[in-house]
Structure 1
Amino acid sequence: MKQFILFILVLLPVCAFAQFTETFDGPILNAGWIGGRDSFLIEGGQLKLNAPGGKSGIASLKHIIPYASNMQWEFEAQINTNPSDNNNVRIALYDEGGIYYYVQIGFAGKNKIGFRRSKQKDMFERQENNLGNKTHLAIKVTLEDNKYWTMYSRQINETYYKLEGSCTYPIIAAKDSGYFLINIIYTGGRNKHFLLDNIYVSDKITPTVTEPSEDPEEPDDPSEPDITLPKLLSIEPLTLSDLQFVFDLPVKTEQATFSVSNIGNADRITYADESRKIVNTHYPEEMKTGEVYTISYSGVMDEKGSTLDGYSEKVTVEEEGEGDEEPSDSKAIVINEIMAKPGDGSFFEYVELYNPTDRIFSLNELELWNGNKRKVLPDVVLPPHEYALLYNSNIDYSGDGVVIPIEKFYALNDAGQHLALKTPSGVIIDEVTYEKATPAKSWERSSSGWHLSSDLRGGTPGSANSSGEGEEKPNEPVTPDEPDEPDTPDEPSLPDITVEPGEFVINELLPNPFTGGSEYIELYNRSGHALPVSGLSIAVRKADGTLNTRYPLSSVASMIEPDGYVLLTKNLSGVTDFYTILSPSSLFEVPKLPILANTSSTLVLFRTKDEVVIDEVSYSSKWHASSVKDQKGVALERIDPEAETQSAANWTSASATAGYGTPGYQNSQSDISSPDDPDSPDEPTGIEVPQWDESSGHYTISYYLDQPGYSCRVFIFNLAGIRVAEIANHELLGMKGQLTWDGYALSGKQLQTGIYIFYAELYHTTGTVKRYKHIFPTR
């Protein structure tokens, strides 16, 4: 189930969390703006009308925004001509099913500003504003409780607003989202006289400083500069226990508290990058589906130490589906069309995404993978039932759909390729392996599968797919000397060997990877003979006892030798970048695997053909060693491959000395020693005194233990009994291994040559404590 819970959380509707900010910092127009993009450009950090001259016209742009019962719109408009009925700006704030609530700057013969509802007269009486040949205004409109409207304006060089008017007009057909619409009406000679900037839409209404009275009580101190505090732009749920807060300016979090109701305060607060605008928070427990939580923070400051207002927002954690593979309409974002081999004069290479739901989704930082290559998507929202087109930025395209030009977009493989749309944490949103391309025809998705486009143009970028009638199958190759990918001689097909229950066992699990890492599942061949994995599948067992989505392991085309390991992961670099790899040939990247819940789940390994269970484990995060306080990145290891899989006593955390994981080789907590291992003593000997290793330039402290589950504290004392160095403090050990020490004292300086006391304390979860004290010389 976690696969779909994370899917919904990461792609939460924009209206649930996000605000909308557009500062036109460029250099090109944000891809989320649709409409007459060719009539606008970014110049000097502003949106500027750049329509063809010589005749009158209307230029329009629109961007999807969230709606709420309480809203605030702010924007700046600059008109370098006298506003009138023939030259004016209309900004539609709310779209009530084709009925727009909009601000208009400029009327016939009147230097006035108005707030109107289409097919309706003015919402309130317009006031004289003395608009001149160069009008530069800041506009602010608020909506309270879906019915109370208030509008303000100010000259851009002033610090206070003027109340334009207020009225009561209820929203009859309230919606979750709609378009922020820009309409500019211009005459032929004024096609470059309009500019817009600093659009900000929020569901928080802030106080408005209005025009002061003739006798103000206490004027502001002119020596005090204006302070612009950072604003919260969005909250992105990364996992059920991780939230990301995005601000428009850098923030300081040293005094901040981030909280989730019924769970508590964040136990880890970090910056996502050097900009200090993005704050990642981790919470001690996971949020549960169906529950309502209040997300809040306080004590956040700007870079100068000014404190931001506290924030509080109620959210509901949703779940969707049971995890089975369903047609495209069950997904939030789908890969909908692929043009891999355009013909002469036809379309360029592109990948089309589609939003089949009634909700708005953010594509920000989603990743489109082409085999092992990826492209990160920009901050663009995809409206309901809209198409997004991804293509190389050197292509000049202004057709249908939300256009997303990607710099150095990778080439699509003509012979076929696996594509996957993923979240930043690696969760697969949608994926497809398209077949060999036919020139000038795209692959299109339908309810019954994929087909070649039957559209006369060869594809339908940015619009509904063709029926595919007459094109259900790809063209077959006809050239005899160019066969489709012949078998490679050094990769023969695997022998038909039936794996029996218990011959493979689940040996190691990583449900909660490091940030940027990948989950993994490790299998161990304890059968005594070589076995294939390709005939097996893996799945999560549901609460009712049935199996969730089946994931075949047919892509693992290797025979696994006795005592061999199989490491399964969706992203090899998410493992190799974080752990020591001793056997690269044991690691296999499998595009589709079940999502492992952080807390507990039941994982089943079974034969694909008849679903006979080979091994099954219902793991729990409670199986971790008690000394492990942060489980992120710590694998659960099986202690004895011959002992019962389901026994909690047969599992524990991978040791710290092994890097908290042993992917593809013997577990750090395994009590099975190889008879050929010269380092394996006849009996456990405890822990040895530090030995200087000239080649590595540090001391090593070897240990051999009688059972897994020991943690240790190791210190160095001088002869007066004063502790001068710390080697380990509550560090989880494996069955055998080495601690290292660089020879430095607690003071941060190299410990002076002399005689010292080495003290080690090993303690077990059962209560067993072993203490060791030795005199030793330092070099």
Structure 2
Amino acid sequence: MIPLFAHAQLRESFADGDFTQDPAWSGDAGSFMVTEQGQLQSSGPAITGTTLQLATSSLAVTGTVWEFWANLKLATSSGNYADVYLLSDGQDLGSSSGYFVRLGGTADEVSLFRKDAGKSPVAIIDGEDKTLGSSTGNVVRVRVSRSVEDIWQLDIDLSGSGQHYARQGSASDATYKCSAFFGVLLRYSSANSQGFFFDDFTITDTEPPLPEALQLISPRELTLRFNEPLQPAQAGEEANFTLNSSLKPLSAELTEANTVRLVFSQNFSGGTNILNIAGLSDLYGNMLKAPVEMPFDFVSPAVLPGYNQLLITEIMADETPALGLPAQEYIELYNPTDQPLSLQGIRFSDATSTATLPDVQLLPQEYAVVVPGTQAENFRGYGKAIGISNFPSLNNSGEVLQLRQPNGTLIYALSYSDTWYKDSNKQSGGWSLEMIDVTNPCAGSSNWAASSDALGGTPGKANSVAAANPDHTPPVLTAVTAVAPTQLLLRFNERLDSAQAAGIANYSLSPVVPITGVEVAGPLFSEVTLQLSEPLQEQRLYTFTASGLTDCSGNLGGPQQLAFALPSAPEPGDVVINEILFNPRPNGVDFVELVNRSEKYIDLWNWQLANTSNDSIANRRLVTPDHHILEPGQYLILTTDRDNIRGNYPAAPENAFLQMSAMPSYTNEAGTVVVLQPDGRVADRFSYDEAMHFELIDDVKGFSLERVRLEGPTQPGNFHSAATQVFATPGYINSQAQEALVSPQLFQVQPLVFSPDGDGYEDFTTINYSTEQTGFVASITIFDAQGREIRRLARNELLAANGFFQWDGLREDGAKASIGYYLFYIELFDLNGQKREYKQNVVVGGRF
């Protein structure tokens, strides 16, 4: 019997007639007795709803077999049953956590349950119903085993002999790995207070302890958790542990019943380490039969990331309609380094809010998705998920995102835009933006694309669009703007090496103006501000040279030159409306073309585009928040979608656009375009009407109205439909443009032969006039070769000093005049009421 007892944590047959010692049972001891037959019997108060319990110490948890005999001399029910606790973390069995076997209950069965403190029991193995169906005596012997792999088995023998066990089921559950007590808990009605009998409680552990978890505490310290309690003396013996075949710990300490803390004299090796464990036994003498190896990986301690050492590699800004992912905005982080990074205290921000990342490590080449804390659980199935509070709301159209160290030092920044999708369907929502090449973090749009994953994104893992996309091109200087007489703003097409770009020697001006200071603007480092020692002169062209600059990827550029001038203060009429498309083709967009007809260089920073409502200027929209210089004679196209305009009008120069985030509404029927200077004065204003289009155009969709004479007034008479061959001329000279005619006569018609066919060549004729003074009134009537009146072009019109009238070859009824000769009959009334008459023949030409 000695070997058997050496492995038995508990053997209680009540043969000594005493349950108060060897082992000692505690609880409701006064409500139990030992019978003459050596059985434990309930003897509590005869009160319905009474609960009795007895418990004794037991630490066995795994690799263990529990056995006992029971006889319930009563009809089991929901109010009459016995729970035999195999594991319990507390002496008060009813309020503790652990596992128990229930005898009886509503189903009159023998089943295994898990008990979570404060919650209802959870069935682990549901035994056969009605096995305890007697109302006078339910004899059963129960055997429960739990393997070291946490597989439970339940067997019962209704003969009570232990010779005829029947399997009730098996299941896996590893919720609880610690125990303090074994015991019984009874619940009964008044008639059954003495109806519970128990005998032959046996707990047998024959398996040695096994390590199940290793946790690194520091580069030289770890804890080792076993599946059951250990013998303290052996667990504290350093000789029983060996690291990487030779290194013994400085100390070994049993910190909990099943946990050992080991401290070594040197750091763990990078990569895989192997801990060898030998000579350990559990509390019941079960010793390891052979040494056990426990491998673990070690990487260098986590560090705070520096510049470009933590990247944003995916952005879900417009999460609806969701394709397969949770409908939630997110960003994805990536560690491109070969060491773990600590994210604790790192600040993630957009333009309006900042969130702080928690104490999380990101391993080398590991991805993690960052979401609001309430959404973290929903993303864990896709990859590593980090939940944060105050998650910034991401703008669908784009904005600047930044990662900074706790002290504010920049780690990474990017300015994304919905144009980065390069796919209008995916741009509308449900798809993320993904970085193509994570080794090229400095690139913008060229290194991002819409996700190609069917779920709409790849949070927490390598991107679906991942591919090699290196940057081998040096930075390009795209603009030089004099934002003040002694200050220049330089713009580059990509991020610069900010430290190298801060050198004054990289920049020069001709004519020479000394540079006294350089500031590279963060967080994107694509703009540089230069301070000059003396002011620039207006309307003087300068040449700026930048040389020896390196981009963020290390590409060195050669000398680059751009011409620029100091902007002058604008006056109304310097910049005018030159063309407008207000009725675009289906799926097209509007545009307004401006032209600088002055000799000044004019900065459009903070200019506005507007319309009118109830004769008041309304719906003002910022043309550009940045400095943008309009040179003398330069055209500029304002629109919300440059690609749309270029797709409809391919001749439009790419560099003639200034894309606005939003434009005022210009209806197809009629409206007013207003251009406002920063000082609030109206630079130009044009009221259009669809009736101004050439009447012989069947469908005016996609046709613009063009200014005829650049120096002429912004009035209907100075605008005409664009030629039918081009429909519109955004960004270049108008198809109907005419040079101003200096007339030596009071009236002069030019051309004398014209063909109103919409081909852009002499589609109309003009009656130009030049008077010595204002105040003249004119009437113009057109007659055909038979002397019949066909059109009244003007009636009692007050003339300016200089100007013109245009005839588009149409009759008064809107029909096209026939090919042939026509007569302009002009009546002029002077200031004294004297009448003068002028006549001029013209020819309407065309093809027969």
Name the larger-Rg structure: 2
- Higher RCO, 1 vs 2 (CA within 8 Å, ≥6 residues apart): 1
TM > 0.5? no
TM-score (norm 1): 0.31
TM-score (norm 2): 0.29
